[in-house]
Amino acid sequence: MHQQRLAEAAAESRELTTQQGMRLHAAIELALAKDSHDPAQVDAALKLVEETGDATEPSTRALAGWALLNSGRPAQAEQIFSKLHEAAPGNDEYIQGLVFAAAANRDYGTLGTLVGESPGTISPIARQTLADHDERLGLYDHARALTGRPSEGQEPSLRSLFTLDRKSGTTGQDKLTVWTIPQLSITMLASPSLTVRIDGTALRLDDGVQHAWGKQLGATVRTEVGRGVLFAGAELEKPGEGPVQVLGKVQYQRIAESEDEFLRLTFSRDSIYDSLRAFEGAPSSGTGPAISSSLEVAARQAMGGSAFHFGETLSSGAVTASGTAVNPFFALSLSLTRDFRAKGWSWLNAGPEIRLSSYRYDANRFDGPYGGYWSPKSNREAGLVFYAQSDEGGRFLFKTGGRFGYATRELFTGRASGAFGEDTTTIAGLLARHLIAGTGIGYRASPGYHDMSVFAWLKIPFEPRGHLHAADLLTPRGF
C-alpha cells in the first residue's frame, strides 16, 4: 500500500514544473528507489536528485544513505551517515543509519566508537554485530561484556569424553591400544574475564602383552590479554608404575581483525604415549617416562586480500627421559590454501602443504636407553591439505579435515617411502537444550605406521542452548 501511494504521488508530481515541484518529485522517486532494493533504480533517482539541486539537504542525504544501504552498497551509505552524524551527533536517524551501514560494511572500529559514545542507547544490532565479530576472534569475554551473557559454547558446562586409540608401526614397535575411560571436564566462569576448566582422566595402555593404568588431573585457565587469548594449564600425571610427571601448556593466540589471519605461540610439556616404555620408562635400564618439551610458532596470512592464505608452523624442542641422552628436534610445515564459499558451509579451504622434521636420534628402538618412543630420525612430506565445517547456528555440526600425499622417512629399519593419508571427521548434535552429544573417527596411514582413533562425548551445558558452535566440537590429542 505504501509503495502504491508513492507510485501515485510520483506520477502526479511528474507534471510539476517549478523548482520546488521538481525537487518534490525527485524525493518521491528516491523514496520509491529506497524500497525497491534495485541499484539501477537507486542510481537513476540519485541522478534526478542531483539535477534538481537538492542533493545537499540533510533529509535528502539521509534518504540517499538508506537507498544505497538497501541496494547493497554499505560503504557509500556509511560515508553519508558518517558526515551527517558528525554534523548532528544527537540525531537518532543518523546514528541508526550509521550503525546499520557500519554493520553491513563490517566496520567494527566505527561500531565500537558508537557503542562507546552511547553505551545505554545504541541499537542492539551494533552490540550484537560487535559481539559476533569478537566471537569469531575468540574474544568471548569481550562479547559477553557487550551482550551481558556468555557466548554459546563458552558457558559453564560438564563434559565426558571417551576415546579408543590403536597405534601400530614398523617391525619392533609396540602395537599399542590406549583407552580414555573417561575424561571428565568441568568448565566454570570464575569471573567476567577468567574461565577455568578442571580435567580428570583415566588411561589404560595395552600392548598385547602387558598393560598399565595412568591417571591425570589438570586445570586450565583462559583469559584475554589485549586483543588476544591466553591459555595456561598444568597437569599431574601418574604413568602406571612410573614416577609422577608435571606437564603443562602456555598458549597465546591473536586473530587479526579480518578474522582469517592469526598468530599463535605455544610452549608445551607433554607425555609420549606411543609405547608402554615411553609412557612408564624402562625400569630395567633406569629410565623414566619420555617427555616432549617444545616451543611452537604458527601463523596464517592472507595474500594481498585474496582468498589465498599462506600458513606456516615452526616448532623445536627435545624429547627427554631420565637416564637417556637429550633428543632435540625441529619441525616445519608450509602451506598455501584457498578459502571457498558455499551455501551450508562456514569453513572450506584446501591447498598444497609440505612438512619437514628431524630428530638427532632414531629413538624407535627397544634395546637401548631411549625408552622406545616413536621418533623417526627424519620426515619429509608433500601433499594436499583440506578442511570443511558446516554452518554454525543449527542443531547439528559437521567437521572434517585431513591430508594426503607422498612421504619419506628415515626409520631405524631403514628408509621408507610411499603414499600417506589422514583424516579426522567429527559430528555433533544438540539433543536437548541441556545435552550435546558428539562422535568422530580419525585415521592416519603412512610409511612406517598407521593409527586409528574413535571417540565420543557428552556435554551438559548449565545454560539452555538453542544452537551449536565450533567450540562444541572436540578432537582428541594427536588428531
- No. of H helices and E strands in the chain? 10, 16
Residue count of the chain, please give it: 479
Give CA separation, 143 vs 102, 188, 396, in Å.
18, 17, 23
- pLDDT score, position 370: 42
Tell me the mean pLDDT in the region 435-456.
91
Looking at mean pLDDT, say which of 22-26, 275-279, 418-422, 473-477 comes out highest.
418-422
Neighbours of 67 (CB within 10 A): 29
- Return the pLDDT at 23: 63
Residue 157 pLDDT level (bands cut at 50, 70, 90): very high
Instruction: Taking residues 74-90, report their average pLDDT.
Output: 85
Q: Cα separation of 317 and 295, whole Å?
A: 6
Query: Which residues make up the CATH 1.25.40 domain(s) of the chain?
Result: 2-147
Q: Is the pLDDT of residue 37 over 80?
A: no
DSSP state of 471: G
Reported as a single tens digit per residue, the pLDDT across 323-378 is 777 888 999 999 999 999 999 999 999 999 999 998 876 654 444 444 455 567 78
The predicted structure's pLDDT at residue 462: 94
Three-point CA angle 364, 203, 277, nearest 5°: 25
In the chain, ranges of CATH 2.40.160 domains? 157-472
Band of residue 163 on the pLDDT scale cut at 50, 70, 90? very high
pLDDT > 70? residue 172: no
Give me the chain's average pLDDT, please.
84
pLDDT at residue 4 greater than cutoff 70: no
Out of 2.40.160, 1.20.1070, 1.10.940, 1.20.120, select the CATH number for domain 157-472. Answer: 2.40.160
Residue 11: CB atoms within 10 A of its CB come to 11
More confident residue, 411 or 6: 411
Res 438 pLDDT > 80: yes
What does the pLDDT look like over 106-117, one tens digit per residue? 888 888 888 777
309 pLDDT more than 60: yes
Q: How far are the Cα atoms of 4, 28, 211 from residue 9, in angstroms, in the given order?
A: 9, 7, 87
Q: Report how far Cα 8 is from the mean position of its chain's Cα atoms.
A: 53
Quick one: pLDDT at residue 397?
Answer: 97
**What integer pLDDT is reported at residue 246 of this predicted model?**
95
Q: What is the pTM of this model?
A: 0.82
In the prediction, which pLDDT does 209 show?
82
Q: What is the pLDDT of residue 241?
A: 84
The grid cell for 27 is 524525493
Which segments of 274-332 does DSSP mark as H helices, in order?
276-280
Give 317's pLDDT tier (boundaries 50, 70, 90). very high
Q: Which of 60-69, 300-309, 333-342, 432-441 has the lowest mean pLDDT?
A: 60-69
Q: Is the pLDDT of residue 69 over 90?
A: no
Nearest to residue 442, comparing CAs of 160, 207, 163, 161? 163
User: What does the pLDDT read at residue 366?
Assistant: 44
**pLDDT above 90 (res 67):** no
DSSP three-state, residue 139: coil
If you classify domain 2-147 with CATH, what class do you get? mainly alpha
> What is the rounded average pLDDT of the residues 72-83?
86
pLDDT at 73: 86
Residue 257 above 50 pLDDT?
yes
| pLDDT for residue 314 | 96
Least confident of 116-120, 175-179, 185-189, 414-418: 116-120
